[in-house]
Amino acid sequence: MIPGQIVACWIFLIAFVSGFSVKQAHVAFKGAIKKKPVAFTEPISPEFQKLSKLIVLDAIEDGLEVNFAIESTSLPERAILFLGSQELALDTHYLPQIKGRGQDQSYSFKVAAKEIPSALIYQATQKGESLVASLLLSSERAIDNIFIDLFDLKLGFDKPESLELPKRLGALPEIKHIFNAPPKTAPTVVAQFFSLLVATVSVGLVACWFTTGSVNFEGFPKGCPGGQFLAMMVSIVAMEYVFIKYYLGTSIFGTLWSALYVGLPGLWIGSKFLSNLK
């Protein structure tokens, strides 16, 4: 068999029901992979039980045919194959190609996977629901018209990328804003370690001054220079205070005024004190 060839193996079954004498009912497959046709072992009648075997179409290019023959003496006015989703309560229908003028007329319903409506393909491929194929054979005023579920059809391929469902009013998918990641900072422990290191070095520097005897307080200014010295030191501490206040949020203009009030007297008294040093 070559790919794409319709495979048909006829299993002759005769169902005499009401006016419709349905024979040779089977499902044939069309596709790249060769598959044996599936015959309906049970007669096609109003009491027909849906085929227990799942019919699968493996690729979007695949298709199937539901074929049977009906005696010319009992042809139905309407012969329709429905394919639908029970969950969506939605279906599509196929009309048969009817051939033969002799004793029997053959009915062939061709279902191409790519021609199944997009809503059904979406339901079968995304939601995993098997589509139900139903057969309707009826005539006006016939007593035993047939409307039966034939088989379940599974679409064993992924949703085509081009598939688009018609727009419907309804709730849209939720969207949550994704915030930018906060800036990365050093681990607290590392920052504390290095801060402690700096503090230790500073304390070590002062300790070094003392241990080497550089600090002896023997030249502490006394008398008038002592007052100037204290005033100069106070102005230096005050300048540091102004700087800290600026860091903590004082405006630049407030800081400039404060620096002026502290800096000018400090400069004057400091230069006076330093010029008196011997």
Nearer to another protein, 151 or 229 (CB): 229
Q: Minimal distance in Å, beta carbon 92 to another protein?
A: 8
- Choose one: 56-64, 98-106, 184-192, 254-262; the region binding another protein (CB under 8 A): 184-192
The kind and range of the H/E element at 47 are none
Decide: 146 and 116 in contact? Cβ < 8 Å. Answer: no
Decide: 81 and 135 in contact? Cβ < 8 Å. Answer: yes
Q: Is 93 an interacting residue with respect to another protein (CB under 8 A)?
A: yes
C-alpha to C-alpha distance for 104 and 88, rounded to whole angstroms = 37
Q: Is 202 an interacting residue with respect to another protein (CB under 8 A)?
A: yes
Q: Which residues contact 18 (CB under 8 A, 6 or more apart)?
A: 46, 74, 142, 143, 144, 145, 146
249-268 positions binding another protein, by CB under 8 A: 249
**Widest CA span in the chain:** 142
Decide: 164 and 118 in contact? Cβ < 8 Å. Answer: yes
Tokens standing for 83? 């394919």
Decide: 242 and 252 in contact? Cβ < 8 Å. Answer: no
Q: Is 172 an interacting residue with respect to another protein (CB under 8 A)?
A: yes
- Choose one: 11-19, 62-70, 153-161, 186-194; the region binding another protein (CB under 8 A): 186-194
Q: Minimal distance in Å, beta carbon 10 to another protein?
A: 29
Decide: 242 and 233 in contact? Cβ < 8 Å. Answer: no
Nearer to another protein, 9 or 244 (CB): 244
Using CB under 8 A as the binding criterion, the count of chain residues that bind another protein stands at 66
Q: Is 220 an interacting residue with respect to another protein (CB under 8 A)?
A: yes
State whether residue 9 is helix, strand or coil.
Answer: coil
Q: Is 12 an interacting residue with respect to another protein (CB under 8 A)?
A: no
Contact footprint for another protein (CB under 8 A): 77-78, 80, 82, 84, 89-93, 134, 136, 138-142, 145, 147, 166-177, 179-180, 185-188, 190-192, 194-195, 198-199, 201-202, 205-206, 209, 213-221, 229, 233, 236-237, 240, 243, 249, 277
